[in-house]
Amino acid sequence: MRFVESAVPGAFVVTPEKITDARGNFYEAMRADEFEQEIGRPFVPRQTNYSVSKRNSLRGIHSVSIPPGQAKYVTCVRGVLRDIVVDLRVGSPTFGAYETNLLDAESGRSVYVPEGVGHGFLALTDDACICYVLSSMHVPGTQIDINPLDPDLALPWGFTDPPLLSEKDARAPTAAEAAAAGILATWQEAQAHGRVPHRTDTRRESA
């Protein structure tokens, strides 16, 4: 697997090395020893979720409060998604920074989202399916929702028609409103949950 740290400190893009023959291909989606060496902390799966979306569905931006905190390893297992991670850690030197990646079943590319970082995606195909491997189980009342169309974040979703949004996401606060309300995790809280390296770059888009 090839690991590349994103513009959001502590978030990684993971691309597998495929073995291909006449039957198809094989690849390792996650290998604990290499993965944990790269992220600098243990990652123990506690829950796995799937969501299936119509084309132009927009889900996010979502995070989980600390405690309990929740890291995510997300993979597109069918179709194509435009995936975005956003630094929502108050006091982070890159607060508001984002990175966008195309996740598709063909490449097997995955994104690791650390605690305190927001995540969302736009489905670019019908019947797109994403898999979330989570470091903690769902605790009602701990999810943090940020409006994916927050004008200050100005996330490059790339849709041409109005996206399909849940009522909850459409009514979610902006990042600034959530920070003012004290519902976002702090940089210090996120650091306490694992290694968060310091970075100076703020935004990058990749294929």
Active-site positions? 62, 132
**Chain position carrying tokens 């994103």:** 6
* Contact (CB, 8 A) for 168 and 60: no
DSSP the chain: -EEEE-SSTT-EEEE---EEETTEEE--S--HHHHHHHHTS-----EEEEEEE-TTBEEEEEEE-TTT---EEEEEEESEEEEEEEE--BT-TTTT-EEEEEEETTT--EEEE-TTEEEEEEE-STTEEEEEEESS---TT-EEE--TT-TTT------SSPPB--HHHHTPPPHHHHHHTT-SPBHHHHHHTS--------EEE--
